[in-house]
Amino acid sequence: MKKIILICGLVIVGLCSIIFFVTAYSAQSKHEIALDAFLTDWGTYEYANTPWRSTIDVVEKRLGKKLGNRYETMPGIESYTLDNYFTYESIPVRARFEFADGKLQEIHFSFMPSDGDVDALFSKLAASLNETYGEASAMTGGSSDDAPTADEIREIFGSSIESTGYVWETSAVGRPKTILQLTNISLRGSNGSIGLAIGEVRIP
């Protein structure tokens, strides 16, 4: 009888440990993106204090997670994506880390609101970034009707690509130039896609 009670006790303790581990893992598996944490003390844009031109091993160590889904975008340029890892106010955010010759040069976050209200989210992000880092130093946007790629897309979808965006730049003395860019890209008449990119501007 005592043996049965002991076994039951061990089982209960084991189940509680598993539940605690799963709960703790779930709580840590999502990383909230803080829009006010991109500017470093030395005046450049980074993410999680990960220096530009870091190796993949260094980036994974800073993130505390292995990068996955590797693909080559062009010779010497490799990208790694992370899904179901980042969020912004409960909105899923997909991350892409781009490496040139094995060195980190850009991080891109894609916001995917479930309610489809992309424009409202874009305006909210832009307002928050303007408040944090000052008015955008440059603006990109407009219709790309005349671009060949837009012509090809129009033949397929009957619409053209439109984009709106803001760029914040740094120019700290003795430091590389870095940018923070927010974009809203869409096919006219459809919901857009919001991207937030940070990167180092490399001068050949």
* Residue 101, domain extent: 33-200
Q: Are residues 3 and 99 in the same domain?
A: no
Q: Are residues 2 and 93 in the same domain?
A: no
Q: Provide the 10 A C-beta neighbour count for residue 113.
A: 17
Residue 28 predicted with pLDDT over 90: no
Q: Are residues 64 and 157 in the same domain?
A: yes
Q: Are residues 98 and 174 in the same domain?
A: yes
**Separation between Cα atoms, residue 14 and residue 85, nearest integer Å:** 28
Q: Bigger pLDDT: 133 or 175? A: 133
Q: Are residues 19 and 118 in the same domain?
A: no
Q: Are residues 24 and 84 in the same domain?
A: no
Over residues 137-148, the pLDDT tens digits come to 766 554 433 333
